[in-house]
């Protein structure tokens, strides 16, 4: 089974990225019976897109013929693309790519059933658009 993981770096010991469309790297692992049989690192071709980064990243992942994606914050358009091609998405836990692959194998990651929603800044810390009680 091929699994793509959003990553901050280019190796299995890199921290997972909790964003999809603008993650720095995708680590693509070949899993067999719970073991990593091979992996490759690919720079995210959508990271510098002005708009539609999630869509472009989803199309890229679909072209890699992966069956599973481990990523946080997959937007509605990207989520639809992944769903159409049969890629299941799972929410990572803090840690490395390798740790999250093991968690996936052990059934410890939650499947993403609905896309991330919200307007600009939805992935932020709640301070934008007059947050923290400001208007």
Residues 6+ apart with CB under 8 A from 94: 15, 16
Average pLDDT in the chain: 90
SS3 label, residue 20: coil
> Residue 135's pLDDT is what?
47
**pLDDT tens across 11-27, in order?**
999 999 999 999 999 99
Residue 123 pLDDT > 50, yes or no? no
Question: What is the rounded average pLDDT of the residues 79-98?
Answer: 97
Q: Is residue 131 part of a domain?
A: no
Q: What is the pTM of this model?
A: 0.84
Q: What is the pLDDT of residues 54-81, one digit of tens each?
A: 999 999 999 999 999 999 989 999 999 9
Cα–Cα distance list, 2 to 25, 37, 70, 85, 131 (Å): 16, 10, 11, 14, 40
**Does residue 95 belong to any structural domain of this protein?**
yes
Domain that holds residue 106: 2-111
**Which CATH number do you get for residue 33?**
3.30.420.130
Q: What is the pLDDT of residue 118?
A: 61
Q: Mind listing the pLDDT tens digit for each residue in 2-15? A: 999 999 999 999 99
- Residue 90 belongs to some domain of the structure: yes
Let me know if residue 76 belongs to a domain: yes
Q: How large is the angle between the packed helices 76-84 and 53-63, nearest 10 degrees?
A: 20
Determine the pLDDT at residue 117. 82
Q: How many domains are there within the chain?
A: 1
């Amino acid at each position: 089974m091929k699994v793509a993981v959003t990553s901050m770096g280019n190796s299995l010991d890199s921290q997972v990225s909790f964003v999809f469309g603008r993650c720095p790297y995708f680590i693509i692992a070949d899993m067999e019976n719970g073991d990593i049989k091979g992996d490759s690192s690919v720079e995210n071709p959508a990271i510098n897109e002005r708009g539609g980064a999630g869509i472009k990243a989803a199309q890229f992942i679909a072209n890699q013929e992966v069956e599973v994606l481990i990523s946080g914050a997959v937007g509605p358009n990207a989520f639809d693309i992944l769903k159409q091609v049969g890629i299941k998405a799972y929410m990572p836990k803090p840690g490395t790519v390798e740790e999250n692959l093991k968690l996936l194998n052990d059934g410890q990651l939650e499947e993403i059933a609905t896309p991330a929603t919200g307007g600009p800044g939805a992935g932020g810390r709640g301070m934008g658009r007059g947050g923290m009680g400001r208007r």
